[in-house]
Homo-oligomer: A and B are copies of this chain.
Amino acid sequence: MKRNIFLLIFCGVLTLAWSQPNQQPTFVSPEVYPDGKVSFRLWAPKAMEVKLNAQFEKAPVTMAKDDKGVWSVTVGPVKPDMYPYAFNVDGIQIADPKNSAIFPNEGFQNSILEVTGNSPLVHTLKNVPHGTVSYRYYNSPALGIRPVVIYTPPGYEENPKKKYPVLYLLHGTTDTEETWTKVGRANIILDNLIAEGKAEPMIIVMPYGRAYPKISKSAGSLRNWDNLQEFKPDFFENLMPFVEKSYRTKNDKNSRAIAGFSGGGGTTLYFGLNNLDKFSYVCGFAPGMLENEFERNNEVAFANPEKTNKMLKLFWIGVGKEDGLYAVNQKYMEVLKQKNIKHETFISDGGHTWMNCKLYLSTIAQKLFK
């Protein structure tokens, strides 16, 4: 009895300050079953309508409420992968309060569902040697103290004289420096590919790409060009020197790659193709671009295609057939062909998603530094 009273107090203490009503029943969400079906649950007794918005579904899925106020739905079987999802509660999109796997983003909140299936995928956490993901800060005179997430491969600590090539990996427009590890599983993908001998051990540098506070976080992609102009000096004058001072990096252009998704894909092409002396590998993942900016943004690479081809070991563009950026990427590839600029294209199924990001990263990681 005393124990029960205490537990009541103890739980009360934890929730009191939050005014979280404590009549909430106990349940799990999401719940993945062995057959690949998944149940989602949300306690929302006063809501009129709750829907599941999941990236494995084409449309929102209606959920049903039980007599305790818990809305639920079971869907699937879901194809093994990691998917962002959210609940739409009377028009408001919220993350799943029962799921601590959160999509780091400055514009919306989503949770992450992982369905593994019967055999591990390239991004599945496995019992192989693991690299280290480090959260660091570097100084930018213009932008202040900036966060960056850095992956060092398995063995980095144990081989204190070995130097490594570096992949700079950029997130999408409203993402953060954590999105490539938490949603893109960049670290796990590399752990697995390195363990299988399919990728060279490399350092991956995942900076925060928003030029905040100069560019507001609420600007979304509307000020991508302005953001580029602010992020460019930060990247080349602050971030790269910090990385090369703090880590055992190989500092020649053949040991440097740059890749990025969406807005960060546009940044990748702009940084990479205008700095051919610094990067031999340039990879755009559904890169964000405007047709009327092709010439301006590719100035150096377009000026001398023959030299460009000589300077680049890999120029790679991946995009999904259902991606809203597919059309403009197709036009860009046409221009590259016209100009005789060598490039590899990778046309996948699906849209502008992090499922595709994982596919693109696991594809290019096997082509770098070889």
Listed in ascending order, the chain A residues whose CB lies under 8 Å from chain B are: 2-3, 6-7, 9-21, 26-28, 42-47, 51, 53, 55, 59-60, 84, 86, 88-95, 97-98, 100, 102, 104-110, 125-127, 130, 132-137, 139, 145, 157, 160, 172-174, 176, 181, 187, 216-222, 246, 262, 288, 290-292, 323-325, 328, 351-353
Contact = CB atoms under 8 A, between A and B. Distances in A.
B132 A19 contact: no
Nearest to A130: B137
A171 to B, nearest CB: 12
Contact of A19 (B14, B26, B93, B104): B93
A332 to B, nearest CB: 13
A324 B93 contact: no
A104 B174 CA distance: 20
A352 B17 contact: yes
Per CB-CB distance, the 8 closest pairs between chain A and chain B, nearest first, are A13-B324, A133-B135, A46-B91, A94-B94, A130-B137, A100-B106, A19-B53, A97-B109
Contacts of A15: 108
Contacts of A28: 216-218
B110 A324 contact: no
Given A91-B45, A323-B13, A110 B18 contact: yes
Nearest to A178: B100
A105 B55 CA distance: 23
21 contacts: A6-B290, A6-B328, A9-B324, A13-B323, A13-B324, A14-B174, A14-B221, A17-B352, A18-B110, A20-B108, A43-B92, A89-B92, A92-B94, A98-B106, A98-B217, A98-B218, A100-B106, A125-B145, A134-B135, A135-B187, A160-B160
A81 B10 CA distance: 25
Contacts of A219: 26
Given A98-B107, A127-B145, A135-B135, 9 more contacts: A10-B325, A13-B324, A15-B108, A16-B324, A17-B53, A46-B91, A94-B95, A132-B135, A132-B136
B18 A86 contact: yes
A19 B9 CA distance: 40
Contacts of A86: 18
A209 B124 CA distance: 22
A126 B144 CA distance: 10
